[in-house]
Amino acid sequence: MGTHINTIKRTNIICPRCKKIGGSLQKKPINKPFSLPIKTEIIDLSTAWDYAAKGLLRMCDYLRLFPPDTALDEEIARSVYNHYSQFTLHSSTQIHGFELTHLSTPDQNIKNRKAYFVSRPKSLEDSLFYNGAQKPIKKPPKHLELPRDTNNILRSSAALLYGAGLCCALRDFSREVIQRHFTEDENQNFADAIYSIYTSLFSDARQATSFSDLSKIMADIHNHGYHGAAAINAIPTGYCLHCYKRGRGEAVEMDRFEDGPIKWKCPKCGSKEVVKVPYTDKHLRNIQSGMLKRLEMLAESWPIYGQIVDMYKYAIENGPNARTDFLKNFKEYELQAIKGELFRRYRWIITHYDPSQKSRRKQCIITASNIANVGIQDERYKLYKGSLTELAKSIPKNFSMSKIMKAIDIAQDKEENNFKEFYDAGRNVLKVMGWPEAYIQDKLRYDISYALLTR
C-alpha cells in the first residue's frame, strides 16, 4: 500500500462523475510504473525529449536491478556525462557532487520492483478461506533471479538519472523557446530523429530483446550462420538437462551461482548442464530484417540529431537568461529525483456517503488533470471560472504553463507582479468557497492550465 495525502473534512465540491455534492477529497500516488509513449504520440520536440527522459529513467532502474561490471559501468557513466554536460557545461567537480548526492538515495520504485522479483509463495495460513477450507494452490510465477549486488547504485545509474533530468529540462525549454520557431512538419522531423536515436539505446515493454543484444545476434549470424547463432544465443530455462532427459520431461529447477566458474548446479543429480531454448531460423531472419531497418533509420537520423544538439547549445548559451533558467529547471528535476517523484503520477479520490454500500462509502476516481472539472457548490464559482477565462485570453500564446508558473515565482517585471497578485487572489477565493486548503494550489494550477488549453 502506498502512502497518500488526504483530507477527511467534508466539502461542498461537485463530483464530475456522479454529480453528487460533498464528500472528502484525497490525493494518492499511482504506484504503477510509467509507460513509454508510443511513436504516434511523439509529434514535436517536447514530446520527443519527454520520451528520451522516460527511457533513460527506465534504463536507470534496470541498471540498479542488474548492475553491470566495473568496466562497463565506468564506460556508460563516462559516455553519458560527456554527452549531456554539453548542455549544462557542468565541471567534473559539479558532476562529482551530483553523484555523491544520488549514490546514497535509493529510489522507492526500485524497492518495489526488487520486492516483486524476490517474492515467494504465500504461507499455508494465507491460502485458507475464512471457514478454514483450503484455497486452490496456484503455481507461483517464475521471476528473473536478481544478482547479489542488486539495488546497488553505481556511477552508470547515477549518470542516466542525470541524463533523464536534463532531458526533462530540454523538454520544457523546447515548449518555451525552441519549437514555436518551427513549422509542424519541421517539429515532426526533429522529433522522429530524437526518437530514432533514443529508441536504439533502450528497450521498452514492447521489445523483448535490447538493441545491443540484437546487434550481437546480428554479428553471430554473420560469423556462424543462422544455426550457429541460434545455438550460441540459446536462452537458459533454469531447469536441469540431465533430469529432463532421464526423467522424460521432469523439470528440476537448478541453483544459480553468480560468482565462480560454475553457473548452474542441479540439487538432485549435481549436473551443471541447463536446458536451453534456441531461436528458430525464422525468428533470426525476422530479427535481421528488423535490425537492418533500424540501423538505416539510425544512420539517417544521426546527422539531424547532431544539428539538434548544436541548436540547443547555441540557444542555451546565447538566449537572454536562458542558461540560468535552464539550470534552475534542471535543479528542480534533480530535487524531484531525490524524492523519487520524477514522473510520479497522482489521482484524486472523492469519497461520498452511500447507505446502499456495506461500508457506507462510495469512491469516485478522478484523473489528475480532471480536477479542473470538479466544481464547487457556490454562486461565486462561475465568476471565478469566468475570470480565469478572461485571464487566459490576455496571456500571450507563447506563454506555456511552466513559464507562467515561473512568472508567478520570479515576478520580475510589472506584468508578472500583477499576475502573481491575481494568482494569490484566486487562492483566497477558493479558500473562501470551501475548497480543501491542502489542495488549493493544485486546483488553481489545473484550472489555469485548462483555461489556457480551451481559450
Please, which pLDDT band fits residue 58 given cuts at 50, 70 and 90?
A: confident
Give the count of alpha carbons within 13 A of 233, CB side only. Answer: 23
- Quickly count: other Cβ atoms within 10 Å of residue 444's Cβ: 20
Coil/strand/helix, residue 307: helix
Q: Calculate mean pLDDT across residues 374-385.
A: 89
Whether 284 shows a pLDDT value over 80: the answer reads yes
Backbone angles phi, psi at 384, to 5 degrees: -60, -45
Q: Which of 54-68, 176-190, 270-284 has the highest mean pLDDT?
A: 176-190
Whether 122 shows a pLDDT value over 60: the answer reads no
Q: What does the block give as the cell for 290?
A: 528488423
Whether 304 shows a pLDDT value over 90: the answer reads yes
Query: What does each C-alpha distance from 415 to 36, 328, 371 come to in angstroms?
Result: 38, 22, 28
Amino acid at the residue 332? E
Residues 6+ apart with CB under 8 A from 12: 21, 22, 376, 377, 378, 433, 434
Element containing residue 12 per DSSP (H, E) = strand 11-14
**364 DSSP 8-state letter:** E
Enter the pTM of the model.
Answer: 0.69
pLDDT score at 229: 87
Whether 260 shows a pLDDT value over 70: the answer reads no
Comparing C-alpha atoms, which of 449, 325, 299 is closest to residue 388? 449
As a whole number of angstroms, the longest Cα–Cα distance in the chain is 85
Comparing C-alpha atoms, which of 445, 440, 418, 416 is closest to residue 429? 440
User: What gap in Å lies between CA 306 and CA 198, rounded to an integer?
Assistant: 13
Q: What does the block give as the cell for 307?
A: 544539428
User: What gap in Å lies between CA 77 and CA 405, rounded to an integer?
Assistant: 34
| pLDDT tens track for 196-216 | 888 877 654 344 566 667 778
Whether 166 shows a pLDDT value over 90: the answer reads yes
Please, which pLDDT band fits residue 339 given cuts at 50, 70 and 90?
A: confident
The share of the chain scoring above pLDDT 90, in percent, equals 13
Partners of 11 in the β-ladder: 23
Comparing C-alpha atoms, which of 179, 165, 161 is closest to residue 46? 179
Helix, strand, coil % in the chain, rounded to nearest 5: 55, 10, 30
Q: What does the block give as the cell for 198?
A: 533514443
For the four alpha carbons of 100, 102, 105 and 110, in that order, the dihedral sign comes to negative
Residues 6+ apart with CB under 8 A from 409: none
Q: Calculate mean pLDDT across residues 48-55.
A: 92
Comparing C-alpha atoms, which of 400, 393, 377, 352 is closest to residue 171? 400
Report the first-to-last Cα separation within the chain, whole angstroms.
Answer: 40
E strand spans, 87-234: none
Comparing C-alpha atoms, which of 337, 285, 313, 321 is closest to residue 85? 313
DSSP H helices, 354-439, are 380-394, 401-410, 414-433
User: What gap in Å lies between CA 312 and CA 334, rounded to an integer?
Assistant: 20
Q: What does the block give as the cell for 364?
A: 469516485
Q: Cβ(271)–Cβ(314) under 8 Å?
A: no
Give the start-to-end residue ranges of the domains of the chain.
5-34+343-453, 39-120+141-215+283-338, 216-282
Whether 170 shows a pLDDT value over 50: the answer reads yes
Q: What does the block give as the cell for 210?
A: 535490447
| pLDDT tens track for 365-375 | 888 878 888 98
| pLDDT tens track for 392-448 | 787 776 666 666 666 655 543 444 456 677 778 888 889 889 898 888 888 888 888
For the four alpha carbons of 75, 81, 84 and 87, in that order, the dihedral sign comes to negative
Q: Calculate mean pLDDT across residues 158-176.
A: 90
Q: Cβ(400)–Cβ(175) under 8 Å?
A: yes
pLDDT score at 168: 92
Q: Cβ(337)–Cβ(54) under 8 Å?
A: no
Task: Name the region of 66 (left: φ>0; alpha: ψ -120 to 50; beta: rest).
Answer: beta
